[in-house]
Chain A
Amino acid sequence: DTAVSQTPKYLVTQMGNDKSIKCEQNLGHDTMYWYKQDSKKFLKIMFSYNNKELIINETVPNRFSPKSPDKAHLNLHINSLELGDSAVYFCASSGGAGGYTFGSGTRLTVV
């Protein structure tokens, strides 16, 4: 079983559309995250979500919103997509003293 799974793996969409990326973890971790990796390969934290506490990176536009139906899921909704949103988005989870476990990423292309 994949520990952190994201869907879809690839997403191509037009500017102005609204899309969602789903993330599920089966590790029993308490905290989940979303990261964005742009074309320059820098990984930037977007959100951290722990037991209904949301921590937002202040640089993230409010068009991005995480939604957590339960502890095992943290979905990412993006409204009014822009060309600059094209990137690879990674979901991750953490619990206890160990490190993060990352998903395999969702490559979003906005055309």
Chain B
Amino acid sequence: DAKTTQPPSMDCAEGRAANLPCNHSTISGNEYVYWYRQIHSQGPQYIIHGLKNNETNEMASLIITEDRKSSTLILPHATLRDTAVYYCIAAFNAGNMLTFGGGTRLMVKP
């Protein structure tokens, strides 16, 4: 699986959009980009994934650059409950063993 790089921490004001970047410059053509988050003391939670096209669901939007070397997870209206560690992972499919890196600790502030 391709290695991903994320900033260790970010702050966001409550109600504003949170944009979490991820670099995956060595991603191969059939590797997906997965995003998970882990709220304190809970199990990681799946957010969204994509291959080439931008994706949106009820939780977030995923923007993948045309060259697929980076992506951005967007939480459109961050709330205090979105404070968590967010992990970006590149993997061939969900059946593969996902390797979690350090992630980005997002702090949503009032």
A residues sitting closer than 8 Å to B (CB atoms) are 4, 30-31, 33, 35, 41-45, 48, 50, 55, 57, 90, 92, 94-105
Contact = CB atoms under 8 A, between A and B. Distances in A.
A99 B41 CA distance: 20
A102 B94 CA distance: 13
B94 A55 contact: no
B49 to A, nearest CB: 6
Given A98-B46, A103-B43, A105-B43, A42 B100 contact: yes
Nearest to B100: A43
A102 to B, nearest CB: 3
Contacts, number: 55
Given A90-B43, A100-B44, A105-B43, 7 more contacts: A45-B98, A90-B44, A95-B94, A98-B49, A99-B36, A100-B46, A102-B43
A98 B49 CA distance: 8
Nearest to B94: A94
B17 to A, nearest CB: 22
A93 B98 CA distance: 11
B97 A33 contact: yes
A108 B43 CA distance: 15
Given A42-B102, A45-B99, A104 B42 contact: yes
B95 A31 contact: yes
B45 interface: yes
Nearest to A96: B94
Contact of B34 (A35, A43, A90, A99): A99
4 closest Cβ contacts across the A-B interface? A99-B46, A102-B43, A43-B100, A94-B94
B44 to A, nearest CB: 5
